[in-house]
Amino acid sequence: MTRNPDAEAGRAVSPAPGRGSRASERRRRRTVRIVRRLCAWLLWWVLLMSLWVILDNSIALDELLAGAGAAALGACLAEVASYQAATRFRMRIEWLIPALSLPGQVARDTVIVFAALWRRLTRGEEPASGFRELPVRYGSNTAEGKTRRALYVGGQSVAPNTFALGIDRDRDVMIVHQLVVTRGEAAE
């Protein structure tokens, strides 16, 4: 057995190259994965619990405990499903800024749809509906680019007048269907 004077003196000893460093790197990667999954679970739980409180409209303890349990179960299912599907989610906070205009878009489109329904019922007028192209940048095929496109397609489909079908990668346009045509170029 060889003696190591550095170790006996209490000085830090670095592991031999290739042995301990690989194991510590694997442990660090595993810890990072676990922390990321826990953060994703916590984010799902907060979102689902917030939805519960909004929909239940009660702050009674038994209602909050039921909501916490339901949100925990939903968060577990969402995290397991995203892990099994190997989804990668990368988002920038500035992508959420356009979501602030969604309530206004929903209110405006609701008025448009109900006005078209009223005209249909009273005068028999058929609304001018159709497919439209909205200019949008497709972007990269990374996890961040996929997340941006998914948020954009979902955001365009919230209001009742417009439903996004997808983004054409070659022409950088989003194909949408509008019940009452309001904007965008006619799709071919």
pLDDT over threshold 90, residue 23: no
Domain residue spans of the chain: 7-84, 93-186
Q: Report the pLDDT value the prediction gives residue 149, as an integer from 0 to 100.
A: 85
Predicted confidence at residue 4, as pLDDT, reads: 53
Residue 83: per-residue pLDDT: 78
Confidence (pLDDT) at 66: 92
N residues, the chain: 188
Query: What is the b/e burial string over 83-99, where b = at least 16 CB atoms within 10 angstroms of the residue's CB?
Result: eeeeeeeeeeeeeeeee
pLDDT digits (tens, 9 = 90+) for 50-108: 888 888 888 889 999 999 999 999 999 988 888 777 766 666 777 778 778 888 888 99
Inform me whether the pLDDT recorded for 173 exceeds 80: yes
- Residue 174, number of CB atoms within 10 A of its CB: 22
pLDDT for the residue 55 = 84
| Whole-prediction pTM | 0.54
DSSP designation for 160: T
pLDDT at 113: 93
- pLDDT score at 131: 92
Mean pLDDT check: name the lowest of 3-12, 35-44, 110-119. Answer: 3-12
